[in-house]
Amino acid sequence: MISVALAAYKGEKYIEEQLRSILPQLSAGDEIIVSDDKPGGATEKIVRALAAEDPRIVYVEGKGRGVVQNFVNAIRYCKGDKIFLCDQDDVWLPNKVKRVTEAFESGATLVLHNAYVTDENLNITDYSFFKTRGSKKGFFKNIVKNSYMGCCMAFDKSLLKKIMPIPRYVPMHDQWIGLMGEKYGKVAFVDEPLIYYRIHGGNVTGGETSFHQKLLWRRYLLKRLFVRIAFNR
């Protein structure tokens, strides 16, 4: 069974297109968990209408604690053996689930795939996120510069006992999950782009961060990694 964990926040502009790109790739017993961090608005209306058409879509209310904890909330509802992380504004290419599943069948417990970067109208501006980012495996490499982009990630539920709970103030859920996969699992990189990664003015994540803030984040991340690995807390 596949679970898709989608964290939403004011996502009404693109979320229907995203969901409709995912549904044809799923089996009857799979699910999409949509955690809405601002319930009561247009996003909830759209998702509930789609859920009425297709019961594989499950709407849950977020707790209003930001993107990291909204993903935590979505993951907690997931019942599948494989958990795919998903943003609200991208588009999955038709072979994404097939190619990621093949990587799992080859023994991986965490899979990261490439992406086409696009503008808001899905015009491709970068044909390889991996190449531009310099994405590579490696625990310490990914502490210094993160390769793990959540919308391109999926992992086996066996990693959940190491991943969860994600520390509240970790700056990026995807970096934390990727590092747990590096430490406790087997990571596979799929070089083929399997989504359109849409960049637009309303992206929840991204943007410039000061050098000082990055240092503070790394310090906190290292502290939480030490506590989790040494004491399993």
**Mind giving me the DSSP string for the chain?**
-EEEEEEESS-TTTHHHHHHHHGGGS-TT-EEEEEESSTTSHHHHHHHHHHHH-TTEEEEE--SS-HHHHHHHHHHH--SSEEEEE-SS-EE-TTHHHHHHHHHHTT-SEEEEEEEEE-TT--EEES-HHHHHT----TTHHHHS----GGGEEEEGGGHHHHPSPPTT-S-HHHHHHHHHHHHS-EEEEEEEEEEEE--TT-SS-S---HHHHHHHHHHHHHHHHHHHHH--
Q: Give the pLDDT confidence score for residue 206 in this predicted structure.
A: 44
pLDDT in tens, 121-173: 999 999 999 999 999 999 999 999 999 999 999 999 999 999 999 998 888 99
CATH T-level assignment (fold) for domain 2-231: Spore Coat Polysaccharide Biosynthesis Protein SpsA; Chain A (3.90.550)
Q: Give the pLDDT confidence score for residue 171 in this predicted structure.
A: 84
pLDDT in tens, 75-125: 999 999 999 999 999 999 999 999 999 999 999 999 999 999 999 999 999
Q: How confident is the model at residue 39 (pLDDT cuts 50, 70, 90)?
A: very high
